[in-house]
Amino acid sequence: MFTTHVASMLIRRTADTMLVFVDYEHADGRTSAHGERIQAARTWITYRLEDLSGMPCHLVRYDRISQSLLDRLDARAIFISGNSISPSAYDPMAVEPIHTILRKTPLPVFGFCGGFQLLAHALGSAIISLAPRPEDAEDESMLITADGSTFEFGYHPIDLAPGSATHPLLTGVGDQAVFRHAHGLHVSAPPDGFETLASTSATPIQMAVHAERKIVGTQFHPEYWTDEHSAGKTMIANFLNWAGIEVP
pLDDT digits (tens, 9 = 90+) for 3-27: 444 333 333 334 478 999 999 999 9
Element (H, E) at 30: helix 27-30
DSSP label at residue 145: -
pLDDT band, very low/low/confident/very high, at 146 (cuts 50, 70, 90):
confident
Question: Does position 67 have pLDDT exceeding 80, yes or no?
Answer: yes
Contact 158, 198 (CB under 8 A): yes
In this prediction, residues 231-245 reach a mean pLDDT of 97
Q: What angle do CA 167, 173, 177 make, to 5 degrees?
A: 120
Which is it for the CA torsion 201, 235, 127, 164, positive or negative? negative
Active site residue 138: no
Strand partners, 80: 22, 111
pLDDT band, very low/low/confident/very high, at 137 (cuts 50, 70, 90):
low
Active site residue 246: no
d(CA 140, CA 120): 28
Q: Dihedral of the CA atoms 31, 34, 38, 40 (nearest 10)?
A: 100
Amino acid in the structure at residue 221: H
d(CA 244, CA 107): 11
d(CA 209, CA 216): 4
Give the predicted TM-score (pTM) of the model: 0.92
Active site residue 223: yes
In this prediction, residues 159-183 reach a mean pLDDT of 95
Domains of the chain, CATH where assigned: 2-242 (3.40.50.880)
- What distance lies between CA 207 and its chain's CA centroid? 11
DSSP label at residue 194: -
Catalytic residue among 58, 113, 167, 181: 113
